[in-house]
Amino acid sequence: MSEPYIRVRDLSKRYQSGSSDLVVFSELDLEVYRGEMLALVGESGCGKSTLLHLLGGLDSPSNGTIYYEGTEISGLAEPERADFRNREIGFVWQIHYLLPEFTALENVMMPLLIRGWPQARAASESRARLDEVGLGGRWSHRAGELSGGEQQRAVLARALVGKPAVLLADEPTGNLDFRTGEMIFQLLEGLHRSHQLTSVLVTHNLSFAHRCDRVLSLENGVLAPAGPTGSPPAAGPGYL
């Protein structure tokens, strides 16, 4: 096993609810290894998406630290954290969040334009990523003119256009029918390998989860290796 690329220590997240605190999870430890494809499973509302948001620097923990190699992202100021997200992390969500007034190409270009790339260079790189996900003939179509599967392909192209080291995906096939979901997951698997990514996927699809290198279940605020049903095994060692 390689060295951990992402290291989480004593991670806690709680929200104030009236006069008391709602604890999502407390003192979680997690290691994600370079090149690994890790699946996170668990019941709805258990905190999987919250954990993914924290890993992506989209939210701040109540306590604990998150390291990407030597960088503690949980300690960065928001402008630095935003820059880190833009350069190091690609995001894929269940809802595509494509801007409807823009074409597929323009949507994919957005992370590069935010970096300050010249428009021509951003367009060239974005077309290459759209070709890679099978949308080479659809780049001039607006989001609403794309099918659900095509929209998710555009999201994958947008996530990868900046050449991130890490891909974080929250239910990437959740809104798709089985056949389209299978096609998107196969594409995810291929992109994970070809781009040498470190990937963390939240999913309710246990068939997809168990095609990953490792599956962890979040249950009652505790992370544990998941058995074939998606729940923590009754006994036995595992590593987090």
For each of the domains in the chain, give its residue range(s) and CATH number, in order of start.
Answer: 4-225 (3.40.50.300)
Confidence of residue 228 (pLDDT cuts 50, 70, 90): low
Higher-confidence residue of 220 and 55: namely 55
Q: How far apart are CA 75 and CA 64, in angstroms?
A: 10
CA-nearest of 52, 41, 69 to 223 is 41
Q: What's the rounded mean pLDDT across residues 45-67?
A: 93
* pLDDT > 90: percent of the chain: 77
pLDDT given for residue 94 in this prediction: 82
* pLDDT > 70: percent of the chain: 93
Higher-confidence residue of 66 and 228: namely 66
Contact between 104 and 135 under an 8 Å Cβ cutoff? The reply is yes
Confidence of residue 127 (pLDDT cuts 50, 70, 90): very high
Q: What are φ and ψ of residue 140, in 5° steps?
A: -90, 0
Confidence of residue 239 (pLDDT cuts 50, 70, 90): very low
CA-nearest of 146, 116, 118, 115 to 130 is 146
10 Å CB burial of residue 20 (0-12, 13-18, 19+) is exposed
Q: Which residues, including other chains, have CB under 8 Å from residue 20's CB and lie 6 or more apart?
A: none
pLDDT given for residue 234 in this prediction: 46
pLDDT given for residue 231 in this prediction: 61
CA torsion through residues 142, 148, 153, 156, sign: positive
189-198 pLDDT tens trace: 999 999 999 9
Q: Which residues, including other chains, have CB under 8 Å from residue 22's CB and lie 6 or more apart?
A: 14, 15, 16
